[in-house]
Amino acid sequence: MRNLILIKISKLYLVVMIIFSVFILLRGHNNPGGGFIGGIITSTGFIFYGIINGSERVKSLLRITTIELMGTGLMTGIVALIIPVFSGLEPFTGVWIESDLLASAGIHLGTPVLFDTGIYLVVTGVFLSIIISIMDVVKWN
């Protein structure tokens, strides 16, 4: 399936999907979206990319292994849950950065958002890992 147009489209699609998923992730706290959905959206981008370009290209595009991606996500989640301890709160409490400037732009930053990012990374990593493994074995190249 080496088709120049398809390859270009797949690249464009991937970029759009990644940007879109980050957007979905960040607005997830107030509108439909969040880490799970964002992660799956990114995966669809990679699937499309992978179907057209093969798994090797996906791997070289990623630079880090999917296992590392998942690990990073899990660590991010755990860190987000532990951060409140340093503020003298119980773990798992949400800690927010109070800023009028950000609030006026409709952006709230806090540990729940960080945790959501962790979810995003894990979900992305999990599905990428599964896709790449399956592609490797069925020799989808």
Binding site for other proteins (CB under 8 A): 28-37, 40-41, 43-44, 47, 51, 66-67, 70-71, 73-74, 77-78, 81, 92, 94, 96, 108, 110, 112-113, 115-116, 118-119, 122-123, 125-127, 129-131, 133-138, 140
Nearer to other proteins (CB atom), residue 15 or residue 130 = 130
Nearer to other proteins (CB atom), residue 11 or residue 110 = 110
- The dihedral built from the CA positions of residue 22, 65, 52 and 136, taken in this order, carries a sign that is negative
d(CA 44, CA 133): 15
d(CA 87, CA 99): 17
Cβ pair 76, 124 in contact under 8 A: no
Nearer to other proteins (CB atom), residue 15 or residue 103 = 103
Minimum CB separation of residue 102 from other proteins in Å reads 11
**Site of tokens 């899990």:** 74
Minimum CB separation of residue 113 from other proteins in Å reads 8
Minimum CB separation of residue 7 from other proteins in Å reads 18
- The dihedral built from the CA positions of residue 30, 91, 97 and 79, taken in this order, carries a sign that is negative
Minimum CB separation of residue 15 from other proteins in Å reads 18
Other C-beta atoms lying within 10 Å of the C-beta of residue 135: 19
